[in-house]
Every structure is written in structure tokens, then in C-alpha cells.
Amino acid sequence: MAIQRTLSIIKPDAIAKNVIGDIIRRFEENGLSIIAMKMTHLSAAEAGRFYAVHAERPFYKDLCTFMSSGPILAMCLEGKNAIALNRQLMGATNPKEAEEGTIRADHADSIDANAVHGSDSEENAAIEINFFFSDLDIHSRS
Ligand code: IDP
Ligand code: MG
């Protein structure tokens, strides 16, 4: 499997719980390298642009309110099969369905406040990485 890049976000709920280190440890222990990192606090409009693919979903407004409720940590992860591997480490969207030992099983409280975001395809990873980072911010280690 080729080396891929994916976007990870530690969401406001997990930042508030002070579990950044625990989440990053899981990435590094599973062969993913952080090649760009930024703490930021999105406005609701910026969160809306990031989640534009969900604009028609009933939960869109709540999602934008939540994602702009506090600081987040955006990261570009790089490694073998990075997109699927990150999704596996995250666990299911609804923490009640997330496999034991996943980030969401351990740190998420609800389907709204579910600790982390991860890109779901190569196409979306490229768009999402570009949303937060310029080429100058990214330091490949592959
Ligand atoms: P993902 O984050 O696992 O990729 P998506 O389906 O892409 O899940 O949804 C994006 C985000 O929108 C989720 O992480 C979650 O915070 C929120 N969300 C998804 N489905 C629901 C829902 O049914 N109710 C409330 N929020 C939802
Ligand atoms: Mg998604």
C-alpha cells in the first residue's frame, strides 16, 4: 500500500479533555507521522466551509456550531495506508458503535462530540489538507 496523507482534527471536546497527547501517541505508535500541525479556532462560517459536503444534512448547523465552540488541532498525517488506518484508529462515527480501544470509544461522548475527524478518501484528504495547510507548512518524512 502506498504512502498516503490524511487530515486529522482533534475536535473541541477532546481538546477540552486535555487528551491531545494520548491521541497523538496512537498515531505515532501505529506508524503515522505528523508532518504538519496547527491549533486554531474556526468561526462557524469557516467550519461550514470545511464541512460543505454535509450542507444538506440535518445535523449540519449543530456540527458547525460544535466545531467552532473551541480550539481544534489540525494535523496532516503521513504513512502507509494513512487514510484507512486513521479511520480504523478513530472508530465509528457514533461512539456507541465504536470498537473497543479506538479513540472514539475511549474519548467521545456522543455522535456530535466525537473527539476526532479523519478524511474519508484520497480526494477529500487533498481538499482538507489544503484547507488548513500550504505546501510550506508540510514536512514530508517519507
Ligand atoms: P465521520 O466524522 O466519522 O467521517 P461523517 O458522516 O462524515 O462522520 O459526519 C461528520 C460529522 O458530523 C461526524 O463526525 C459527527 O460529528 C457529525 N454527525 C454525523 N452524523 C451525525 C448525526 O446523525 N447526528 C449528529 N451529528 C452527526
Ligand atoms: Mg466524514
Give tens-digit pLDDT for 76-97: 999 999 999 999 999 999 999 9
Residue 1 pLDDT: 74
Pocket test for ligand 1, best of 11, 103, 111, 124 (most atoms within 8 A of CB): 111
Question: Using CA atoms, how far apart are residues 31 and 79, in angstroms rounded to an integer?
Answer: 6
- Output the 3-class SS for 66-96: HHCCCCEEEEEEEEECHHHHHHHHHCCCCHH
Query: What share of the chain has pLDDT > 90, as a percent?
Result: 99
Residue 105 pLDDT: 98
Q: Is 23 in the pocket of ligand 1 (CB under 6 A)?
A: no
Residue 43 pLDDT: 98
- What's the gap in Å between 87 CA and the centre of ligand 2? 9
Mean pLDDT computed over every residue of the chain: 98
User: pTM for this one?
Assistant: 0.98
Identify whether the C-beta of residue 128 lies closer than 8 Å to the C-beta of residue 119: yes
Count of other CB atoms within 10 angstroms of residue 48: 19
The ligand 1 atom at the shortest distance from the C-alpha of residue 120 is: 4
Residue 70 pLDDT: 98
- What's the gap in Å between 92 CA and the centre of ligand 1? 10
| Alpha carbons within 13 A on the beta-carbon side of 86 | 29
What is the radius of gyration, based on Cα positions, of the chain? 14
Question: Using CA atoms, how far apart are residues 105 and 26, in angstroms rounded to an integer?
Answer: 13
Residue 41 pLDDT: 99
What residue has cell string 456530535?
A: 112
Residue 61 pLDDT: 98
